[in-house]
Structure 1
């Protein structure tokens, strides 16, 4: 069963920004490529935010978040170095205020992911309280 996919459109980006609520720092309506982010530092001024990655057909593949001393671009670079960004061609960022609590950042990521339904996320943060470790049962 193939689930429907959402595209990275100005309307969907606007929805993502709206879901950030008062934590939203600003809207960055221009999409960036992986190279613009990792090599040219396109998002170097943002230390906290949610990023949305789309493939060459503009289908949303992944949403993630970053709360760190470095930049959101540094987090994208980690994906690239681990080979997880091979399908990503366009990315957009929902920058959040640098002092946004980590639990709120993860909750915003969960909200955005729930609405935009990225194809490659295996799990999204819960929409409620802090993350909890989940024990996994062994496969039989």
Structure 2
């Protein structure tokens, strides 16, 4: 039995941006090709983001995140996927840029939320989407 991925649509992108909440830098509703990102450094201005990759059938294959500093950007994180051979089915990508100083735990939570909704076919595990409970906090029985 094979799983069917959700389509990378304008509605899916809007949902991903909504899930970023106050951490969203701005919406970039246009998809980009893998070549544009890797060769042209199309997303080099973004250092913190969640990215969504789709295949030739427009099925969401992967949801990931990047939290870079210095001269590195989201483009560099995607290039790592290419070098490792994990991006072979990726045709178009969309980015949900986050405010650069967003805490890494929140970046991962946004990635988890987006992945839980879009259900990417190739993502093996997603970050937890719930915040940890404070020490000493217990659930009533």
- Provide TM-score, normalisation by structure 1: 0.90
- In structure 1, what is the Cα distance between the partners aligned to 2:36 and 2:50? 17
Structure 2 residue runs of 5 or longer lacking an equivalent are 133-141
1:134 corresponds to: none
Moved >2 Å (runs of 4+): 1-4
Deviation at residue 5 of structure 1 after TM alignment: 1.7
76, 79, 82: which one aligns with 2:78: 76
Number of residue pairs the alignment of both structures matches: 130
Structure 1 residue runs of 5 or longer lacking an equivalent are 131-140
94, 97, 104: which one aligns with 2:96: 94
Structural mapping, 1:31-42, within 5 Å: 31-42=31-42
- In structure 1, what is the Cα distance between the partners aligned to 2:82 and 2:63? 14
Structural mapping, 1:120-139, within 5 Å: 120-129=122-131
Deviation at residue 93 of structure 1 after TM alignment: 0.2
Provide the secondary structure at the position in 1 that maps to 2:49: strand
Matched, 1:66 2:73: no
Provide the secondary structure at the position in 2 that maps to 1:88: coil
Matched, 1:57 2:57: yes
- In structure 2, what is the Cα distance between the partners aligned to 1:21 and 1:14? 11
112, 117, 120: which one aligns with 1:118: 120
- In structure 1, what is the Cα distance between the partners aligned to 2:60 and 2:131? 26
- In structure 2, what is the Cα distance between the partners aligned to 1:3 and 1:81? 26
- In structure 2, what is the Cα distance between the partners aligned to 1:65 and 1:4? 22
